Amino acid sequence: MSTPLLRIQQLRAGYGRAEVLHGIDLHADKGSVITVIGPNGAGKSTLLNSMMGLLPSKGLVEYEGEDIGTLTLEERVMRGIALVPEKRELFGTMPVEDNLVLGGYRQMRLGNAQWRSRLDDVYALFPRLKERRTQLAGTLSGGERQMLAVGRSLMSGPQVLMLDEPSLGLAPLIVKEIFSIITTLRQTGVTIVLVEQNARAALAVADHGYVLEMGELSLQGPAAELAQDARVIDTYLGATRKPD
Ligand SMILES: Nc1ncnc2c1ncn2[C@@H]1O[C@H](COP(=O)(O)OP(=O)(O)OP(=O)(O)O)[C@@H](O)[C@H]1O
Ligand SMILES: [Mg+2]
């Protein structure tokens, strides 16, 4: 078996003395989509933030077979890991295009002309952002803001894109659009770690799924199998409205 692109083992993280993640093991093969579903407060965002280096953690975070646990956020971005955080953290008083350019600023700073072509790639993926390139980010609709947040993360040219609840607060039609973009991205070879409360949509797009409950993985398996699991259906699929 080939080495997974991303692998974490016995990951523990929390805030101060309060441990939130109690030893998580997961991995993502190159080019795959994995999803982590679970209720509010389970530790999903804590998990992504730890993998990104935004929070101190214990345990192993391995990327391309190498322990990256001591790397800073910036170093992880340079290696090809990107996060679209739950709070989208856009620059509301700046135009769409400036927000995107800032996402690729490291490349620009290095004199890498690639950021121009990345901008074109992002506009090809999100034509709506191109139409609205001069509009202030703070005046975008929720769905457009989400597209901008994803687009900005793509400007760093990631191999792994971690998405923290991309469907949060969006209307079903926009959710559908966001999930179809996840599928498109995957076809370009980007590995995706998707955290979602919309379990139905997440399991439909993912290869492998993990259920995180109170800081521990309670279930995992091929996404299609999890979607048939009685416990998953009862707890996570029952109340979820199917995106139309
Ligand atoms: N900055 C913080 N300081 C202290 N505790 C925090 C902090 N951020 C999160 N927590 C706590 O850690 C636990 C896990 O939070 P986390 O945000 O990771 O959950 P989540 O699964 O992403 O939830 P949601 O689905 O609501 O986004 C919660 O009990 C939360 O209150
Ligand atoms: Mg969260």
69-128 residue pLDDT tens: 999 998 999 899 999 998 878 999 999 999 998 876 665 565 566 778 889 999 999 999
* Ligand 1 closest atom vs CA 43: 18
pLDDT digits (tens, 9 = 90+) for 171-224: 888 899 899 999 999 999 999 999 998 999 999 999 999 999 999 999 999 999
Task: Find out whether 64 and 29 touch, Cβ atoms under 8 Å.
Answer: no
CA of 59 to the centre of ligand 1 (A): 19
State if residue 218 touches ligand 1 by the CB under 6 angstroms criterion.
no
Overall average pLDDT of the 51-74 stretch? 94
Residue closest via CA to ligand 1's atom 18 equals 43
The answer, yes or no, to whether any atom of ligand 1 lies below 6 A from the CB of 17, is no
- Residues 127-153: pLDDT tens digits? 999 999 999 999 999 999 999 999 999
What is the per-residue pLDDT for 105? 67
The β-bridge partners of 78 are: none
Distances (CA, A) of 96 to 90, 91, 128, 138, 179: 9, 9, 11, 9, 21
Average pLDDT across the chain, whole number? 91
Side by side, the strands of the sheet bearing 18-28 are 18-28, 6-15, 57-63, 66-67
pLDDT category, 23, cuts 50, 70, 90?
very high
3-state SS assignment for residue 217: strand
With a 6 A CB cut-off, is 152 part of the ligand 1 pocket? no
Is-above-0.75 flag for pTM? yes
**Who contacts 21 (Cβ-Cβ below 8 Å, separation ≥6)?**
11, 12, 13, 14, 43, 46, 47, 50, 57, 215
Which protein residue's CA is at the shortest distance from atom 9 of ligand 1?
46
